[in-house]
Amino acid sequence: MPLLEVRHLVKEFSRRRGIFGATSVVKAVDDVSFTVERGETFGLVGESGSGKTTTGRCILRLIEPSSGDVVFDGKDVLTLSRGELRRARRDMQIVFQDPYSSLNPRMRVGDIVEEPLVIHRLGSKAERRARVRELFDLVGLNPDHLERHPHEFSGGQRQRIGLARALALNPSFIIADEPVSALDVSVQAQVVNLLMDLQQRLTLTYLFIAHDLRLVEHICSRVAVMYLGKIVEMGETARLFATPQHPYTRALLSAIPVPDPDAPRQRIVLDPNSFNRAAPLREIAAGHYAAT
């Protein structure tokens, strides 16, 4: 049984044009289905606004999906009561895109990491403090810096703080929403190594949302490509990168700047009229799906 199963997920936002304008409905997530196996890193890629973050937030019910099913560890997340949802959330955590704005600047970092334990009323004060020190150690931060504030840390360190907080409740599943996009490559490598180490040590499952396709190729076992709210292609990372089928995937892969001045460049420009947006995903080879 997969750890996470998302079926026909839809999220609509209504937007009004101007004060008197008519409201229009945007399908930010439009009939998205995929599964994530235990222990794997599943990548979600696609251009800005394609619905990646919205998908992640719907899975955790940080926003309510319009329709669809989310089954986590055998439980239907969308029908859970508030209390049940709270318990389920201990097992599913999110690390946010922006290490600068996602941490409360007025709180001490030790308190930031401790907060989930307090919210869930776990342990005594002393036990929680010990756990925070342990978490700091786990993510490679100095436990003597618990009293400091977020601005005293670099971007990579702040991302570690976010990760320590996410790990506080011992989750099995983490949605990492662009966890390293704001970081320099050198520091990015530190955080990526940490994510991979923690996955091994704590048997974590990741939904890894990212822009950087090189990174996705490196760490994800499978990947789904989103375009305008839909998954247009999905499959084993190596296979999908080697033989992309959907015109959008091809354009996306051809746009990655290759760090080799002699690499041949053949930019494929996407012609949005060259494919049928309503085409359903179909299996074109074992485990490789494309909406073509």
Partner 1 sequence: MSDIAGRGARDAGREGPGARDAGREGRGARDAGREARVGVAPSAPRTPDPAPRLLSVEGLNTVFDLRGGTAPAVIDVSFHVNAGETLCLVGESGSGKSVTALSILRLVQRPGRIASGSVLFNGRDLLTVSEREMQHVRGAEIALIFQEPMTALNPVFTIGDQIEETLIVHGEARGRAARERAIELLGAVSIPEPDRRVRDYPHQLSGGLRQRALIAMALACKPSVLIADEPTTALDVTIQAQILDLLRDLKKRFGLALLLITHDLGVVAEMADRVAVMYAGRIVEEAPVRELFQNPRHPYTQGLLASIPGGARGSRLAAIQGTVPPLGHLPPGCPFAPRCPRRFEPCDTAVPGVTVIEDRGARPEARKTESRTSDLGPRTSDLGHTTRCYLYSPAVEPEVLPEAPMKKSR
Ligand X SMILES: Nc1ncnc2c1ncn2[C@@H]1O[C@H](COP(=O)(O)OP(=O)(O)OP(=O)(O)O)[C@@H](O)[C@H]1O
Give the binding site for Mg ion (CB under 5 A).
Answer: 53
Q: Which range binds partner 1 by CB under 8 A, 142-150, 167-175, 259-267, 282-290?
A: 259-267
Using the minimum distance from each CB to ligand X, give the nearer residue, 50 or 93: 50
Q: How far is the CB of 274 from ligand X (least distance, A)?
A: 22
Using the minimum distance from each CB to ligand X, give the nearer residue, 113 or 210: 210
**Residue 99 sits in the site that holds ligand X (CB under 6 A):** no
Among 7, 15, 125, 214, binds ligand X (CB under 6 A): 15
- DSSP 8-state code for residue 193: H
Q: Which does 156 bind (CB under 5 to 8 A by kind): ligand X, partner 1, Mg ion, none?
A: partner 1
Cβ–Cβ under 8 Å, residues 110 and 142: no
**Residue 267 sits in the site that holds partner 1 (CB under 8 A):** yes
- Give the whole-angstrom CA distance, residue 205 versus residue 174: 6
Per DSSP, which regions of the chain are E strands? 4-16, 23-36, 41-46, 67-72, 75-76, 92-95, 173-177, 205-209, 222-227, 230-236, 282-285, 288-290
**Residue 102 sits in the site that holds ligand X (CB under 6 A):** no
Among 2, 10, 12, 26, binds ligand X (CB under 6 A): 26
Using the minimum distance from each CB to ligand X, give the nearer residue, 109 or 215: 215
Q: How far is the CB of 26 from partner 1 (least distance, A)?
A: 14
Helix-strand-coil percent breakdown of the chain, rounded to 5?
35, 25, 40
**Residue 273 sits in the site that holds partner 1 (CB under 8 A):** no
**Residue 80 sits in the site that holds partner 1 (CB under 8 A):** no
Q: Which of 142, 84, 60, 71 is nearest to 109 (CA)?
A: 142
Which whole-number Å values give the CA distances from 26 to 76, 144, 196, 232, in the listed order? 25, 47, 36, 18
Among 55, 93, 102, 237, binds partner 1 (CB under 8 A): 237
State the amino acid at position 94 in one-letter form: I
Using the minimum distance from each CB to ligand X, give the nearer residue, 55 or 128: 55
Q: Which of 30, 45, 12, 11 is nearest to 207 (CA)?
A: 45
State the amino acid at position 26 in one-letter form: V
**Residue 217 sits in the site that holds partner 1 (CB under 8 A):** yes
Q: How far is the CB of 56 from partner 1 (least distance, A)?
A: 18
Q: How far is the CB of 171 from partner 1 (least distance, A)?
A: 21
Q: Which of 184, 211, 219 is nearest to 39 (CA)?
A: 219
- Write down the H helix ranges in 243-284: 247-254
Q: How far is the CB of 22 from ligand X (least distance, A)?
A: 15
Quote the distance between the C-alpha of residue 169 and its chain's center: 18
Q: Name the residue with tokens 């420009």.
A: 269
> What is the distance between the terminal CA atoms of the chain, rounded to a whole angstrom?
28
Q: Spell out, one character per residue from 29 to 58, where the chain touches ligand X: x when CB under 6 A holds, - when not.
A: -----------------x-xxxxxxx----
Contact positions vs ligand X (CB under 6 A): 13, 15, 26, 28, 46, 48-54
